[in-house]
Amino acid sequence: MLERLRIVLIGTSHSGNIGGVARAMHNMGLADLALVAPRCQVIDQESISRASGADHLLHSASVSETLDSAVADCTLVAGASARSRTLPWPMLSPRQLADRLPAECEADSARVALVFGREDSGLTNDELHRCHAHIHIPVNADFSSLNLASAVQVIAYECRMKWLEQPSAPTADAPDSTLPPEQRPVSHADLERYFTHLEQTLTTIGFHDPDKPRQLMARLRRLYLRARPEALELNILRGVLTATEKAATDRASRPPRP
């Protein structure tokens, strides 16, 4: 289960914090670190010193330009946020997130991304809208922002506690591999392709005006992300969009009635 968890840091500005995160991860038995557009050196004296012996995680970390590419293969994406946002999203405590992990991590292809924001400004709304759920560490409401590595530490600890409760790890030929392909969880990349298609179709049929978005796409994202469509269901949804676009184009090209 722990090997299916990825810690994703967006726009980190202090290399010491990346080192602190590597240390927290290694303490808790996590190894998959992804950095999105870091605003500092990843490997320098400060990060190596704060990693305190876990600097192999700094060397093996992936670095990408966008959140989408860092989590493209992930089947559950949860964003850690210190603040509540205007459009409320499904909210989990670290313990509630951890409770979901054994089921979420069952499939061989399962990958869970835990996404953390910038030291100065956290995660943007756009980044949070790409998550299935938000994780909030229930701290003192008057002083709610933890240091980045401390936030990773608290959430990773809950994940580890849940892992320790599990009976011994499943063998290679146990349940997961029996999940038929159409029921496998879909990846972030599949969902993002669907959202792009959805926005395009809604614009074509005049339901959505990208110049006056009124949070339509954010609300639809929240709905579909909450529903957790499986591969077959996502195919059906894509088929509906393709047929809708075809009907709209056919109608537009039909000669006017006499």
Binding site for ligand SAH (CB under 6 A): 80-83, 116-117, 119-123, 135-137, 139, 144-146, 148, 151
CB of 164 to ligand SAH, least distance (A): 22
Q: Measured from the CB atom, is 47 or 201 closer to ligand SAH? A: 47
3 state SS of 42: coil
Which amino acid, one-letter code, is at 106? E
Separation between Cα atoms, residue 226 and residue 248, nearest integer Å:
29
In angstroms, what is the minimal distance from the CB of 83 to ligand SAH? Answer: 5
List the one residue out of 181, 197, 175 whose CA is nearest residue 231: 181
CA 157: distance to chain centroid?
19
Which H or E run includes 159?
Answer: helix 148-165
> Are 92 and 78 spatial neighbours (Cβ–Cβ below 8 Å)?
yes
CB nearer to ligand SAH: give 58 or 80: 80
Provide the β-strand partners of residue 91.
Answer: 134
Q: What are phi and psi of 168, to 5 degrees?
A: -55, 155
State in angstroms the smallest separation of the CB of 232 from ligand SAH.
Answer: 34
Least distance from C-beta 145 to ligand SAH, angstroms?
4
| Minimum CB distance to ligand SAH, residue 158 (Å) | 12
Fill in the amino acid letter for 133: A
Residue 110 or 131 with smaller CB distance to ligand SAH: 131
Residue among 33 and 148 whose Cβ is closer to ligand SAH? 148
Q: How far apart are CA 191 and CA 220, in angstroms?
A: 12
* Cβ distance to ligand SAH smaller for residue 91 or 174: 91
Nearer to ligand SAH, 58 or 123 (CB): 123
Supply the minimum distance, in Å, between the C-beta of residue 237 and ligand SAH: 30
CA–CA distance, 37 with 40 (Å, rounded to integer)? 9
